A and B are shown apart, each in its own frame.
Chain A
Amino acid sequence: MNTTQPAPKPWSPPNPTLLDRLQVSLLRAAVASLILSLAFVLLVFVVSSVGVFAGSADQFPDIRTLAPIGGLLGVALFLILAPTMLVLSTRPMQDLAFTVTGFLATFFGLAMLVIFFFQLSADVLEWFHQMPRLIERENQRLLAAPTHFEKTELAKAANELEEECARIDADATLTDQAKKDEKTALRDLFEAEIIPEKKKELQTTVIEMQRAVERDIRTDTSPPALLWYFLTHGPSDSPQDAGIWPALLGSLWIGLITVLFAVPVGVGAAIYLEEYRADSWLSRIIQVNINNLAGVPSVVYGILGGFVFVELIFKPLENHQSDIQTQLQANQELALGLFDRLLTWLPSISARNVLGGGLTLGLLTLPVVIVSAQEAIRAVPNSIRQGAIALGATRWQTTWRTVLPMSLPGILTGTILSLSRAIGEAAPLVLFGALLFVNQDPWPFTRFTILPMQIFGWADRPPITLESGESIDVWKGNAAMASVFLLVALMAMNGLAIYFRNRAQSRMRY
C-alpha cells in the first residue's frame, strides 16, 4: 500500500496574533513605566539629599508632593509607551522605526545648525537695529555736553551769589539800606568781574568738549558704516563704540606663528616616523606619545606655555631688557655685548606676548599636524619610493623630491584644519595671559588679545538699561557680530581644506 504523505510544510515561526501582541506590549509598557517613575522619584531624593548634605539645598522634598508627581509620571509614561510598543511589536515596523530614528538622529545635527544660524542672524539683525539708537543717544549727549557744562557751571556761580545775598540778609548787624547797598555792590561785582573770569576758565574745557564732539560724533549709522566701524576700532566701555580690530590682528598673528612653528616641526616628525624609523622602539614611544598628547585638554597647554615661555624665557628677557635700559640711561657710554645691543633695538618686550602665545598654540596643534601628515605620507604609493631608490636617490632625496610633493595636498588639509582649530581656541591663551581689553595693535613682543576671547568677554556682560527703563542686551549683540566674523573666517578655511583634500584624493587615483 502506498502511503504517500504530502511533503511536510517548511517550518516558519508562528506569527503572533494582534491579541498576543497587545498583551505583551501592555505588560512591557506597564513594567517599564513603573520602573522609570520609581527611578525618577529615587533620583530626586538622591539629588536633594546630596544637596542637603552639601548645604546647597534647604530640605528634602515633601513626600506628599512627590508621590502624586511620581504617579502622574508613571501613568503618562504608560499611556505613551503602550501604543508605541504595540506598534513596534512587528519586525517590519521595528525596521521602519529604526530607519526613521536613524534619519532623525543624523539630521539632528543639521537641525541644530539651522537653529544656531537663525539665532545668530536674529542677534545680528537686533544689533543693526539697536546700534543707531545707541549712537544717536551718545551723539545727543556729546552735542549737549559743552552747553550743558557751561550752564551748570554758571548756575553754580549764580547759586553762590544767592547764598552770599542770603547771608547778607541774615546778618542782623546791618540796616536794611546797608544790606541793599551791599547786595547791589555784590551783584555789580558779579556781573562785571566774576562772570567773565568764570567764562574764561571754562573756555578751555568747553573747547576741548567741542573738539571731542567733532572727533567722536558718528553721523553715519548705515549698516556698512556700522560694520566698518566695528571692524576698525578696538574695544571700549561703551557698547556702541566697541570693535574687534586688535582682536582680529592678534588672531592673525597667533595663527601665523602657530603655522610657522607647527608645520615644519610636525611634518619633520611625521617624515621621521614614516620614512626613516618606522619600527624602532623610539618611534613607538613617540607615536604613543603623540596620540596621548592629542587628547590632553587645551587648558593644560596653556599652563605649560604660561610656565615655560613666560617664566623661563620671556620674563627674564623682559627684566634683562629693562635693566639694560636703566643702565643706559644712567651711563650713555656703556659698552654692551652683541646680544644686549640687539635687545636695546627691540621695542619693549612684555612677558606674555604674541610670540609665546603662538608657540603655545603651536604645541597644541602639533599632534594633529603630525597625525594628518603621517596619513598623507602613508597614502603615497610605495612604487614611487621604490622607483626613486632604484634611480639611486638617497633617503632624503626620495622624501624631499618625490614623497613630499605628492603628499602636499594632504599635509595642507591637515595644516588648515589644525589652524582653524587653533584660531577658535581661547582657553590656552587665557591661561597664557591674553588680555580682555587691549587697545594697541599687537606685534610679536607686545600683549595681545584674540577674537574668541573678545567673544568670551562680551558674552559675559549684563544688558544695559536706557533712561526709558528699557534694557537691551547689546553686549551679546557685539558678541554675536564677532562670532559671525570668526565663523566666516573658519568656514573659509575649512572650505579651503576640503578643496585641498579633494585634490589630494584625485591625485592618488592610479
Chain B
Amino acid sequence: MSTTTPELPLARPRDLMRTNRTIQKVVEGAIEYALLACGLVSIVVTVAIAAVIFYGSFEFFATHDGAWMTPRQILDRVVYFFTGTEWTAGFTGAHYGILPLLTATLMVALIAAVIALPIGVMTAIFLSEYATARIRGIAKPTLELLAGIPTVVYGYFALTMITPNLAEIVPGLNTPQNLLGAGIVVGIMIIPMVASLSEDALRAVPRAMRDGAIALGANKFETSVKVVLPAALSGVMASFLLALSRAIGETMAVSLAAGEMARLTLDPRQGAVTMTSFIVRIAKGDVVHGSTDFNSLFAVAGALFFMTLIMNITARRVLSRYRQVYQ
C-alpha cells in the first residue's frame, strides 16, 4: 500500500501564524514591545508633568512679562515666593508670596482631617470588629455612594446647605464663602477613603493578637483600641496621609465654597483662596498667556505637586514597610 502524504491546503495567514514558529516569534516580540510601550506611557506622563511645571516655574521666576531678570532678582523672587505673606496676583506691582494660599489650603485640609479622621477610623473599627454582615451590607454601599458623588456637587451642597446653617450657629461667619464650610464638605468627601484604607490595615492584623487579648479578659472595646489599633497604627497613619493629600488636592468644591480673595488668616470663618482654586481661577479668567500672572499658576501647581508627591511617597513607604512586618 503506498502512503501518500495528503495535499495540504494553501496555508492561510492565520495558519501560518499558528504553526510557523518564526512568524510567531516575530509577532510575539512585537506585541511585547507594544505592551512595554503602554507601560512606559506612565513614565512619560510623569516626566512630562515635571517638565511642564519646571518650564512654567522657570518662566515665572526668571522673566517678568517677557523681560529677563538678573540672577539677584530671581533669587529675591524665589525667596519671597516661599516666605512672602502677600499674594496680589492680578494687580499692578504684584507680590507673589505663597503663604496666604498655603495657609488656606492647610486650613481646609486641617478642618477636613478633624472631621474625617476620627469618623473614618471609628467606621473602620466598627466595620471590621463589630459589624454583622447585614450592617456591612448597608454601610459599605453607603460609603461607596458617598465616594462617588462628584466634587462639584459637594461644593454645591456647601453653598446651599452647610453655609446657611453654619451662619446661624457661628457668629461672624462670612457668607457665602468661608473656609469652615469648605473644610466640612471636603471632610465628608474623604471619609470613605479613610474608612476603606484603615479597614484594610485593621484587617491585616493577625487574628492571633485579637484572640490573645480576649484570652486575657479584654472586652471588645479594649481589644480594638488597645491591641488591634496600635498594631495597625502605621497602616492607619498611611491612610491619614493619603486622605490628607487628597484633601489638599481638592479643587472644585473648594473653589465654590472657600473664597476668592487671597488673605493670610487662621480664622476659619473667613473666605480665602486656596492653591487649587487659585489655579482654576487664573485659568478660567482672561489673563494673558505668558504674563507673569499666568505663569504664577505653574509655580503654585509645582508647590502643590511636590507637597502631594512627598505625602504619597511617605504613605506608600509606610504601607510597604508595614506589610513586611506581618509576612
Contacts and interface: CB of A to CB of B under 8 A. Distances in A.
Interface residues on A, range: 35 or more
Interface in A140-190: none
B31 A396 contact: yes
A265 interface: yes
Contact of B143 (A109, A269, A430, A436): A109
Given A54-B263, A98-B221, A430-B280, A452 B252 contact: yes
B172 to A, nearest CB: 11
Contacts of B152: 424, 426, 452-453, 455-456, 459, 483
A297 interface: yes
B42 interface: yes
Contacts of B24: 394
A291 B160 CA distance: 36
B313 A292 contact: yes
Contacts of A395: 28, 32
A269 B38 contact: yes
B275 to A, nearest CB: 9
Given A91-B222, A106-B126, A110-B139, A297 B38 contact: no
A380 interface: no
A411 B312 CA distance: 25
A299 B251 contact: yes
B123 A456 contact: no
Interface string B134-178: 010011011111101111110111011100000000000000000
Contacts of B276: 297, 299, 427
Nearest to A298: B251
A244 to B, nearest CB: 13
A444 to B, nearest CB: 21
A335 B220 CA distance: 83
B292 interface: no
Interface in B204-228: 219-222, 224-225
A282 B40 CA distance: 9
Contacts, number: 280
Contact of B126 (A102, A298, A431): A102
A285 interface: yes
Nearest to A291: B316
A456 B161 CA distance: 16
B42 A103 contact: no
Given A109-B146, A296-B308, A297-B248, A366 B41 contact: yes
Contacts of A420: 148
Contacts of A480: 156, 160
Contact of B39 (A123, A268, A363, A491): A268
A54 B103 CA distance: 12
Interface string A238-280: 0000000000000000000000000011101101110011000
Interface residues of B, number: 95
B39 A272 contact: yes
B148 A490 contact: yes
B28 A95 contact: no
Interface stretch (B5-13, B73-81, B298-306): B298-306
A304 B156 contact: no
Contact of A102 (B130, B191, B242, B250): B130
B183 interface: no
The B interface is mostly helix, strand or loop, or mixed, namely helix
A442 interface: no
B245 to A, nearest CB: 6
Contact of A303 (B34, B188, B301): B301
Interface stretch (A45-53, A78-86, A383-391): A45-53
Contacts of B312: 291-292, 295
A289 B27 CA distance: 28
B119 interface: yes
B43 interface: yes
Contacts of A110: 138-139, 142
B142 A109 contact: yes
Contact of B283 (A94, A112, A430): A430
A195 interface: no
B322 to A, nearest CB: 15
A99 B150 contact: no
A300 B301 contact: yes
B49 interface: yes
Contacts of A95: 219-222
B267 A57 contact: yes
Contacts of B202: none
A131 interface: no
A479 interface: yes
A494 interface: yes
A266 B256 CA distance: 33
Contact of B284 (A266, A268, A430): A430
B220 A99 contact: yes
A74 interface: no
A119 B157 contact: yes
Contact of A299 (B45, B144, B304): B304
10 closest cross-chain pairs (CB), A and B? A297-B249, A424-B150, A102-B126, A268-B38, A54-B264, A105-B122, A295-B312, A427-B251, A272-B35, A98-B221
26 contacts: A47-B267, A48-B267, A51-B265, A53-B264, A56-B267, A57-B267, A91-B219, A95-B219, A106-B126, A106-B131, A106-B135, A109-B123, A292-B46, A292-B316, A296-B308, A297-B308, A300-B53, A394-B28, A426-B251, A427-B151, A431-B280, A452-B252, A455-B152, A480-B156, A490-B148, A494-B145
Given A91-B221, A298-B249, A299-B251, 16 more contacts: A56-B267, A56-B270, A94-B219, A105-B118, A106-B139, A109-B192, A112-B146, A116-B149, A123-B160, A268-B34, A293-B42, A295-B308, A295-B312, A297-B304, A394-B24, A455-B156
Interface of B: 24, 27-28, 31-32, 34-43, 45-46, 48-49, 52-53, 56, 85, 100, 118-119, 122-123, 125-127, 130-131, 135, 138-139, 141-146, 148-153, 155-157, 159-161, 188, 191-192, 219-222, 224-225, 242, 245-246, 248-252, 255-256, 263-267, 270, 276, 279-280, 283-284, 297-298, 301, 304-305, 308-309, 311-313, 316
